[in-house]
Chain A
Amino acid sequence: MWDNPSLRCLLAIAFLHLLSLIYSQETGKSTPGNWKCITHDLNRMICSWDATSSANRGLTYKICQFRAAAIKTPVSAVAGNDFECMLFFLVSFQALIPLTPQILNLSADFSTYTLYLTWNDSGSVFQHELDASCTILSRSGFNVFPINYDSKLTGKDSILFWNWTSDIPLECTSYYVKIRCYINELYFTGRKEWSEWSPVRTVPEKDTKPNSVMVFPQDKVVLVGSNVTFCCLYNEGKSVKFMKYGSESYPLLRLSKWSSAIKVQNVSASVPSGTNVWCSLVPDDVEGTVLFVGYAPDTPQNLNCETRTFITITCSWNPGRPTALYSKRRTKYILFERISRENVTCKVEELNKKHACDFPVHANQKIYNFTLSASNPLGQAESSLLIDVNQRVHLETPDKFTVSTNSSTHAHLSWYIPGNFIKIRLLCQIEISNSNSERQLQNVSMAGAENSNYRAWVDALHPYGTYTFRVRCSASEYFWKWSKWSEGKKLTTLEAPPARGPDIWRQRSPVGETVTVFWKPLLLSEANGIILSHEVVCYLRERMLKAHEVPVPLNSTEIKLGGNDCLISVIAKNRAGSSPPSRITSVDLPSDNVKTELAIATGNGIYISWHSDPNVTCGYTLKWCISSGSEPCNVDWEMFPSNAIDAVIKSALFQPGVRYNFSLYGCKHNGYQLLQNITGYMKELPPKVAPNFTVEETSSDSILVKWEDIPVEDCQGFLKGYILYFAKGEKGSSKTSFMEEGSPELTVKNITDLTKKSLRILGLQGKTSYRLDLRAYTVGGIGPSKDLYVVTKENSVGLIIAILIPVAVAVVLGVVTSILCYQKREWIKETFYPDIPNPENSKALQFQKNICEGNTALKTLEMNPCTPNSVEVVETRSTVLKIEDTEIISPVADSELPEDGSETGTGSHVVVSYCPPIIEEEISSPPIDEPVGSSQVIYIDIQSMYQPQVNPEEEPEINFVTTAGYKPQMQLPINAMKMESHSPTEEDLDKIAGYRPQANTNVWKLNSPDSPVSIQSNNENGSFGSPCSINSRQFLIPPKDYEDSPTPNNTGWSFTHFFQNKPND
């Protein structure tokens, strides 16, 4: 280590320095001022001192190089005065200052906001490696960014690089860069100082004062979520009003005197035309830029490559997440094949979203290793797929598909598939659909060809069948996908002779002269074409008697037998030929004792069973006939083998509720024999109508009901019986059925004996209405009802008895009474009708006496009926009172009674009714205070109940109203008790008081001296209703008045006084 010359040198320098300090002091001469030595390379020293002092003028400076100093170069002489020479030992390395670094280049990448700086480290000036450190100072606008850069000097010149990325566009402001360095030599004892700053370099090169407004960055594409800074450059002197990102304003950041910025964070995806960023300046200027915000391309998904023609391989994929970038910023796809190292640029149709790319198939290449790379300004992604092209064959849809035939069972098919399939075999699938939409698939394998037609044929078709063919294909060896189905083609095969003869039956006429032959039409699958006619031939011992050609659609024909039976043969014919013959004999074997049995309805068919007949060798035939309307019935039949004993007959023509008749024939070796008749229903229903029934006979306790059979066509099933409901009920009372009513008296009779046609209902009540309801029923249910109302007859004997018994009793009682009376006539007479009545003995009087106990004035009671009389008032004051015995006058007439004089003069008359007692005996002792002339008269004091409530003078009209007319008697006691108070309110009470006499008793009492007074006259209401009040009848009118009267009146009580007294009020 000490061998190092530098170290030795340094030690020497240190020593010399010490000496120089000592020597300088001894000489007494001042040393040169500001002596300073620096080195840039540790090899050469540059010393300098201050020589401007006048004291030192003319001095010659000589710098000596000592031996001890290993330093070779530091020799510096200063020419001076030749006469004096002073020696100074001024030895010192004061500072190590590296050379000023030289910036070679400063460049900027505006798109990435990156500055690139290169400089020379000048390492060659040092002999050995040294650590160096540089400071790069960059400044943009008001901001300064110092950055340290450490490097190692290697003894050679090196170009050093430094780059720096700004977070704002480089265009926004100029960047000033300078650099200085520092040598970090540990063993250098002097001061180590930074080099001088390099000259400043600027990016952009000229310190731009913009000529016009500009906004940066221009049309930049960034990722969603990025933070972006936009700046607005403008001329000095202008100012920014606002800066907006989209429609939103952001706070301005001042970058320089002519630059402001906004910082937008977490930007979201923009519309296709980008988000506008604009800067509005004062006074009126606008500039802007557009930011496109989107995503980097997603990894292509579901990459699928297949060939359709073996000419190109088509790769398709799903692009995944949309990038929100369009036009020139959209995602670009490149399909690269690694084996052939070929790539294809894919044209993606943005509008129809079809992402597919075609790659050519190479002749000798089977394996393809595809890589699909997607890229846009924000990034790229890729997806790979390795395929064997032979295993990825997806053929095009077969084209030009044709079908043809020249047979009844075969068809030829042809189709075209584009592409070169020479190296593979194809598998094609033919779909055959018949008219019943039954589908059948048939696979055909065939060798591939190049752009060729492919042919196939199908067999086992049915003659005269209509089929629809389609075809699709795939690779045979490595199935990948079927092609799409070709279009469908329809074909009808040719006709063939009918496959078999028709089913036949024959029916002889009742006489037997003719036989009608029936046959069933062949099924389409058996006819093999269109049946044109049937040939019916009658053979007699192999000799053809007669042939009938019967055209369709007839399905029967009549053959005259001429007394001979024959073998009938029927052949169906179509355009292609004739069917095999169907044969049947016309012989009918006689049958006797043929029974008719009932079949069982199964709901959808008719179950028929029969007894096996050992003589039947060639099967049974069950024949029936279905009639529809008025047309003759259609014969139908079904054949069964000889061992069959039952069958369920089904037919689409069977209808529920319709009776069908079947005939069972047995085929014997010499002919057919009728074995059995069967009748039945496919489904039994309730009878359609109600039985027609009538009441034949009615008595007081029974009804005889008769009914008629229901017609067979209305039964809709086998009749099982009748149900008769009856209960009491009036006609028209209720139309609901018995069952609904739930009548408690409902009686139900079930008649299951179908032969019975009448029924007597017993135990009924006489003269009572009954409701009858008769219904028929089958297995299918109960039919509708029919109502009948009937009334049982009256029980006459009971009525007679009920009349006769009371009459007889009455007669007997009468007779007994008569006899008794006769026998006791003397006693009766003595008791009830004595010749001389004895009051003592009078039972009646005794009775009366008890009643009138305390009233000694009454002696007798005359219980005469009340004979109403009338008092007719012709005039009031001067007119004669006319009183008639007549009927009771209506209250209306009474109400017309005048009460004041003003109305009496009108000449109207009033008839007043009253009920005078017929007095046959005078009262024995008159009352004491009775006035003279009236002492023998006792009035019926009905008037005393009349209570005048108001002064007639004050309110004559009201009184007229209130006092006239009938007064109800209900409130009589009330009024009587209130008489004395005589308050005005009592007027109202009077209006509603009970019976009132038809005159004013007050008037009588006060103004008429002749007014009648009751025996209890001191009490105005005392005598009313007393049974003891009447004992006399007498004229009420005094004799003088009576004389003035123009017309005589009958005797009796009169109201004349009332009217005469009125004017005196």
Chain B
Amino acid sequence: MPKTLPLVLTKPPLHPTLAAQNLFLSLVLVQLARPEPSPRATTISQTYNLARLLQTNTTKLLNTYVSLSAQGSPFSDPGFSALGLRWAGVPVATLPFLAWRTMGDMERLARNYGAYATFDAFLQLVRDDQDELCPNCSELLAMLGTARAQTRGLLANLTYIMAAMGIPTPPATDPLTSEAASVGAFEKKCRGYVVCREYHGWVDRTVRDFTLLKAKYPA
């Protein structure tokens, strides 16, 4: 599985800071490709670091997404928070604490994998939507592209860890149909918002997940 990791680096850097992040990502992945005496623990640690990096990026992504120039009001209104806004198929990270805390490693990793596999598709969908809605929003488009590349990197790490732990990788599914692209512009904006928001939530959850896993499997 690790040999598939460099695939995520094929996307050219679109922004100077993003390029630096990609460089960091590549270093992480190159590190993954090297044989380690305790590959699982090392990868967990590196995945944790990657998730921390994503945590910063997703905050920026969400802020950029809701800017006035990108989506306009009400998304750009101060304090905008449509908590009730949902989109079918977008993974939601919220979980009761005990349920999350007592979750087994297998389930924890599988849920992470499933969420990011879905986000991989949704991020591409949102990028396409924004390319059509806001072709001038080059920064947002670049961030969405980077987010997807980093998601793929995270998925590769998860795959590696699950394989190391003997957990079967869920079969690859495409959660979206082509009809997803034929919704109205407002719905696209809402969908993009939900995707960015839940992606941010899921990265937070992944950081917490891997904090647990790191403690459980010290390097």
User: A538 → chain B, closest Cβ, in Å?
Assistant: 79
**Given known A-B contacts A219-B184, A246-B73, A247-B74, A290 and B135 have beta carbons under 8 A apart:** no
Q: Is the CB of A271 within 8 A of B69?
A: yes
Residues of the B chain whose Cβ atoms lie less than 8 Å from the Cβ of A1054: none
Residues of B near A286 (CB, < 8 A) are 82, 84-85, 190
A275 at the binding interface (Cβ < 8 Å): yes
- Contact (A244, B74) CB under 8 Å given A215-B186, A289-B184, A290-B185: yes
Query: Bound state CA distance, A179 and B199, in angstroms?
Result: 57
* A327 close to chain B: CB less than 8 A: yes
Known: A289-B185, A327-B132. A276 touches B73 (CB 8 A): yes
Let me know if A284 and B84 touch, CB within 8 A. yes
In the complex, the answer to whether A278 meets B74 with C-beta atoms within 8 Å is: yes
Cβ-based interface call for B210 (8 A): no
CA distance A276 to B75 in the complex (A): 9
Determine if A273 is an interface residue (Cβ-Cβ < 8 Å): yes
Contact with B along A255-288 (1 / 0, CB 8 A): 0000000000000001111111110000011111
Q: How far, in angstroms, from A246 to B74 measured CA to CA in the complex?
A: 7
Find out whether the CB atom of A273 lies under 8 angstroms from the CB atom of B74.
no
Q: Could you say which of A270, A272, A284 has the most chain B C-beta atoms within 10 Å of its C-beta?
A: A272
Name A273-315 residues within 8 Å CB distance of B.
Answer: 273-278, 284-290, 292
Q: Does A218 contact B (CB under 8 A)?
A: yes
Q: Is the CB of A273 within 8 A of B72?
A: yes
- Chain B residues touching A, range: 20 to 34
Bound-state Cα–Cα, A466 to B71, Å: 63
Contact A272 B133 (CB under 8 A): yes
Q: Quick check: is A988 within 8 A (CB to CB) of the other chain?
A: no
Tell whether B31 is near chain A: CB-to-CB under 8 Å: no
B133 contacts which of A246, A278, A327 (Cβ < 8 Å)? A327
Residues of chain B with a CB closer than 8 A to A277's CB = 186
State the Cβ distance, B73 to closest chain A Cβ, in Å. 4
Q: Which residues of the other chain, A, contact B167 by a CB distance below 8 angstroms?
A: none
In the complex, whether B189 has a CB less than 8 A from a CB of chain A is yes
* Interchain CB contact under 8 A, A272 and B185: no
With both chains docked as a complex, state the minimum distance between the C-beta of B11 and any C-beta of chain A, in angstroms: 19
B131 — which chain A residues lie within 8 A by C-beta? 327
Whether A244 contacts B189 by the Cβ 8 Å rule is no
| With A286-B85, A328-B132, A350-B135: A276-B184 Cβ-Cβ less than 8 Å | no
Q: Are B135 and A327 in contact (CB under 8 A)?
A: yes
Shortest distance from the beta carbon of A279 to any chain B beta carbon, whole Å: 10
Judged by a CB distance under 8 angstroms, whether A789 is at the interface is no
Q: Are A326 and B85 in contact (CB under 8 A)?
A: no
B129 to chain A: closest residue by CB: A273
Q: Is the CB of B73 within 8 A of A274?
A: no
* CA distance in complex: A1030, B130 (Å): 136
How far, in whole Å, are A376 and B71 apart by their CA atoms in the complex? 22
A515, B119: Cα distance in complex, Å: 102
Query: Are the C-beta atoms of A276 and B136 separated by less than 8 Å?
Result: no
B9 within 8 A of A: no
Contact A275 B74 (CB under 8 A): no
* Interfacial residues of chain B within 161-177, with CB under 8 A of chain A in the complex: none
Interface string of A926-950 (1 = CB under 8 A from B): 0000000000000000000000000
Q: Are A289 and B186 in contact (CB under 8 A)?
A: yes
Give Cα A943 to B189, complex, Å: 125
Near A by CB (< 8 A), chain B positions 33-75 give 68-75
Which of A215, A246, A278, A326 is the one whose CB lies under 8 Å from B135? A326
Known: A246-B72, A247-B77, A278-B74. A273 touches B184 (CB 8 A): no
> Contact: A290 with B73, CB < 8 Å?
no
Q: Does B134 belong to the interface (CB within 8 Å)? A: yes
Say yes or no: B184 contacts A274, CB within 8 Å. no
Asked if residues B84 and A272 are in contact (CB atoms below 8 Å), the reply is: no
Q: Looking at the complex, which one of A218, A276, A284, A327 makes contact with B189 (CB distance below 8 Å)?
A: A276
Query: In the assembly, what is the distance between CA of A290 and CA of B137, in Å?
Result: 17
B136 pairs with A275, CB closer than 8 A: no
**Smallest CB–CB gap between A947 and chain B, Å?**
102
Contact: A273 with B71, CB < 8 Å?
A: yes
In terms of DSSP, what is the predominant structure of the interface of chain B?
loop
Decide if A276 touches B74 in the complex (CB within 8 Å). Answer: yes
In chain A, what residue has the closest Cβ to B133? A273
Docked complex Cα distance between A867 and B37 (Å):
133
* Minimal Cβ-Cβ distance residue in B for A277: B186
CA distance A1043 to B117 in the complex (A): 148
Contacts of B132 in A (CB 8 A): 327-328
Given contacts A272-B136, A284-B84, A327-B135, contact A244 B186 (CB under 8 A): no
List the B side residues contacting A292 at CB < 8 Å: 185
A276–B189 CA distance with the chains assembled, in angstroms: 9
> For B72, B85, B137, B189, which residue has the most chain A Cβ atoms within 10 angstroms?
B72
In the complex, A286 Cα to B137 Cα: how many Å?
25
When distances are taken between beta carbons in the complex, the residues of chain A under 8 Å from B189 are 273, 276, 290
Interface centre among B82, B85, B184 (most CB of A within 10 A): B184
Closest to A219 in B: B185
Selected from B82, B84, B130, B186, the residue in CB contact (under 8 A) with A276 is B186
Closest to B84 in A: A284
| A287, B85: Cα distance in complex, Å | 10
- CA–CA, A273 to B72, complex, Å? 8
Q: 1/0 per position for B113-139, CB-CB distance to A under 8 A? A: 000000000000000001111111100
**Chain B 82-96 per-residue mask, 1 if CB under 8 angstroms from chain A, else 0:** 101100000000000
In the bound complex, how far is the Cα of B120 from the Cα of A936, in angstroms? 150
In the bound complex, CA of A271 to CA of B130 (Å): 13
* Residue ID in chain A nearest B68 by CB atoms: A271
In the assembled complex, how far is the CB of residue A212 from the closest CB belonging to chain B, in whole angstroms?
11
Q: How far is the CA of A66 from the CA of B70 in the complex (A)?
A: 87
Asked if B186 and A278 sit within 8 Å, CB to CB, the answer is yes
Residue of B nearest to A280 (CB): B74
Asked if residues A275 and B72 are in contact (CB atoms below 8 Å), the reply is: yes
Residues of B within 8 A of A215 (CB): 186
Say how far A349's CB is from chain B's closest CB, in angstroms.
11
- Please determine whether A247 and B73 come into contact, CB atoms closer than 8 angstroms: yes
Verify A276–B135 contact, CB threshold 8 A: no
CB contacts (< 8 Å) of B134 on chain A: these are 271-273, 326
Question: A283 to nearest B CB, angstroms?
Answer: 9
For A270, give the chain B residue with the smallest CB separation. B72
CB distance A273 to B185 under 8 Å? yes
Bound complex: CA of A271 vs CA of B72, how far in Å?
A: 8
Inter-subunit contact B72/A276 (CB<8 Å): yes
Q: B72 contacts A218, CB within 8 Å?
A: no
Residue of B68, B82, B133 most packed against chain A (CB within 10 A): B133
A665 CA / B157 CA spacing, docked (Å): 102
* Binary flags per residue of A497-530, CB closer than 8 Å to B gives 1, else 0: 0000000000000000000000000000000000
A-B contact pairs, 13 of them (CB 8 A): A215-B186, A246-B73, A272-B134, A273-B71, A273-B72, A273-B137, A274-B185, A276-B72, A285-B84, A286-B85, A286-B190, A289-B185, A326-B134
**B residues within 8 Å of A by Cβ?**
68-75, 77, 82, 84-85, 130-137, 184-186, 189-190
Seed contacts A219-B185, A247-B74, A278-B186; 19 additional CB < 8 Å A-B pairs: A218-B184, A244-B74, A246-B73, A270-B72, A271-B134, A272-B133, A272-B135, A274-B133, A274-B185, A276-B72, A276-B73, A276-B75, A277-B186, A284-B84, A286-B84, A289-B185, A292-B185, A327-B133, A327-B135
Leading 3 A-B pairs by shortest Cβ distance? A290-B185, A247-B73, A288-B186
